[in-house]
A and B are shown apart, each in its own frame.
Chain A
Amino acid sequence: MITVVVEGVRISGFVADDGRIQGEGWERPAVVERHGGNEFSVTVGERRCRVVAIRESGEIHFLVDGWSMVGVIDQGGGGQTPGAARSPGEPHGRQEVLAPMPALVARIEVKPGDEVVAGQPLIVLEAMKMENDIRARHGGIVTAVHVVPGKAVERGELLVTLTQTK
């Protein structure tokens, strides 16, 4: 059994010439034909479609019906799914806010000691001429701001730490 995580959803199965895939509460027959290169024809249940898929840095990028998505093979043991609300190893009662993309820090809207509510903007990031508010997932108190305006941050870099209020 192989498990892949696509956009936070776990899907498992065996697929060769013939096979089945399953997720939470569902199961479907699945057939994958490879057309050489990176192109595949896939039949899941009743629906047949064309998929382009390429491995890159341990992830599998695929294109279905115009949508570009990413699948990560679960190597076992990991109970957490990508897309979950907290960063790896984040302890309970604490909220670590990470950069969702490589970007520049445009503004910082909070300082340590501030009490924030869920959805409140903490940091404004800028990339490709667009600004994006990075918001608190839960209410809490800001314990640390780890960046300064103008700093270039990588995807996944720690921006702000909050203690969670109940």
Chain B
Amino acid sequence: MRADGGLRRILIANRGEIALRIIRTCREMGIGTVAVYADPDAEMPHVRAADESVCLGGPASKDSYLAMEKLINAALRAGVDAIHPGYGFLSESAVFASRVTKAGLLFIGPPPECIAAMGDKTAARRLMEKAGIPTIPGSTGALRNLKEANDFSRMQGFPVLLKAAAGGGGKGMRVVRGPDELPRAYTAAREEARTAFGDERIYIEKYLEDPRHIEVQIVADRAGHVLHLGERECSIQRRHQKIIEESPSPAVNEEMRCAVTGAALKAAAICRYESAGTVEFLLDRGGKFYFLEMNTRLQVEHTVTEWRSGVDIVALQILIAQGEDLPLTQKEVCLAGHAIECRLCAEDVLHGFLPAAGRILHLRVPGGPGVRDDRGIEEGNEVSIHYDSLLAKLSVWGTDRPSAVARMIRALGEYEVLGVPTNIPLCRAILLDPGFQRGDVTTGFIEEFLSGGFGKDGDSWRRMAGAAVCISLENDAGARTGSSPEKGMAGARSDWRSRRSDGMRQA
């Protein structure tokens, strides 16, 4: 710690774009940084960007980014004052937060009791119900057996949602539309919950058809000041994984905004929240909000809120961890214009969204006014199977929604990633969709959009253009009788057949 109580050095217990994003704020605040990495990530930008880096081994997450002992030892050895967990991995582990504290370090996030209280989704919902915040009808505790799931479904009617008690990120979640599907879904959800979180408890709730996902960013300090930074609309999601987020929500009017931000502030106050957090709600067709859960971490999509508020949320997290009061009041929060974020992922949209591993052969990113690219990967890096498929978060700001949409379409057009298939064309097609442009989005949007035949038409000219280049390259290579300048060419000629992977995409 510095004499003024400020942090000297922080270890970032994460990888990729979020590690880099945290390093950037630390640098602006004059705080030193220590990065950690698993073996496959040795060449990733976050490792080089930090002042120091520590190899954790791996490659599996449980042996690296989830290995509490290794992380705390690395922090102690590097002599840091604090650990920032980022999002995912250990960011919502109360056990990790308290072990960090016991080791004499600051955990940049809420106190372990808050994480635990909100991490148990059933208990959190009960707490909110008691405070008068509306919640979706659900089981009062974890399901003890399949019969309880059956009984609940019969009483509330299908569809129902099975959900891991310790969940997040769509894992262990199953929508069940009829009694026949229930047994298999029950087993699968428990199994997924067990492998993902080491906790097979699941609960059941009524599933709202096509609601909107609205969430409120809040920040709270130790002295009990709480403020919100507006709402985000995150309805464009597939299998509960968000793809496009924006702020403000096109569906929320002033009256609704007042209600939902009020509920979020209340939720934060009840659990004596500290640091940045997000209160998630579902908005039904009648304009009614239901508390979904509270995420006790920095959210992936915090960038859209930063765009509109001009506030650096990571900097606030650090100030709050240092014990300082919030540097602004609710009155001083000024939300301007419209912001949109697209999560750019390495996945094969046309083949069931299979995650795609491979090397980034070419990368060119957009620039110009109002564009921000939070990216954790560079040309030459490998996209590995061990971690999630997020390559970058592209976000834009515009004075209003139409100008933000136009800017995002422009920026996506400038984004070039070669080597792995990405969802960039899908994002662009969604932004161009008249329904999306009207702000007519629900959590069912993607499914409906994909059933409309996305990618099935118009790709033949792209194939033809690409084939023409392939033929031209091969022609040139042949003319030079094998002395090809292209990388990997000479050796590859003899072995490509053995690598040929017929039909696997359709297996």
> Which A residues form the contact surface with B (CB < 8 A)?
2, 4, 6-7, 9, 11-16, 19, 21, 23, 28, 30, 32, 34, 38, 40, 42, 44-45, 47, 49, 51-69, 71-73, 75, 78, 80-88, 97-104, 106-107, 127-132, 134-135, 137, 155-156, 159
Q: A62-B470, A68-B420, A102-B357 are in contact. List 20 more A-B contacts (CB 8 A).
A: A16-B475, A19-B472, A21-B468, A49-B462, A54-B419, A55-B492, A56-B488, A57-B488, A57-B499, A58-B492, A58-B496, A71-B470, A80-B502, A86-B503, A98-B501, A106-B195, A128-B389, A131-B192, A155-B501, A156-B504
For residue B415, CB closer than 8 A to chain A, the reply is: yes
Q: How far is the CA of A130 from the CA of B467 in the complex (A)?
A: 32
- 22 A-B pairs in the complex with CB atoms less than 8 angstroms apart: A2-B471, A2-B475, A4-B471, A19-B468, A32-B469, A51-B469, A53-B473, A55-B473, A56-B492, A59-B499, A62-B470, A66-B415, A66-B416, A73-B470, A98-B507, A100-B505, A127-B355, A128-B355, A128-B357, A128-B388, A132-B352, A135-B507
Chain B residues contacting A40 (CB-CB under 8 Å) are: 469, 472
Checking B351, B387, B412, B418 against A100 with a beta-carbon cut-off of 8 angstroms, the contacting residue is: B351
Chain A residues contacting B486 (CB-CB under 8 Å) are: 54-55
Binds A, one of B7-15, B75-83, B95-103, B421-429: B421-429
Query: Would you give the 0/1 interface string for B203-245, flagging 1 where the beta carbon is closer than 8 Å to chain A?
Result: 0000000000000000000000000000000000000000000
For residue B474, CB closer than 8 A to chain A, the reply is: yes
Distance of B497 from chain A, by nearest CB (Å): 7
Main secondary structure of the interface of A (DSSP, over half): strand
Distance of A28 from chain B, by nearest CB (Å): 7
| B422 pairs with A68, CB closer than 8 A | yes
Asked whether A15 and B425 contact (CB < 8 A) given A87-B502, A97-B507, the answer is: no
| A21 pairs with B362, CB closer than 8 A | no
| A44 pairs with B171, CB closer than 8 A | no
Query: Would you give the 0/1 interface string for B170-202, flagging 1 where the beta carbon is closer than 8 Å to chain A?
Result: 010000000000000000100110010000000
Chain A residues contacting B416 (CB-CB under 8 Å) are: 52, 63, 66
Distance of A163 from chain B, by nearest CB (Å): 16
| B468 pairs with A42, CB closer than 8 A | yes
| B464 pairs with A53, CB closer than 8 A | no
Chain A residues contacting B462 (CB-CB under 8 Å) are: 49, 64-65, 67, 69
| A137 pairs with B507, CB closer than 8 A | yes
Chain B residues contacting A129 (CB-CB under 8 Å) are: 169, 171, 387-389
| A85 pairs with B506, CB closer than 8 A | yes
For residue B413, CB closer than 8 A to chain A, the reply is: yes
Of B351, B354, B412, B478, the most chain A CB neighbours within 10 A belong to B354
Chain B residues contacting A73 (CB-CB under 8 Å) are: 470, 474, 496
| A38 pairs with B472, CB closer than 8 A | no
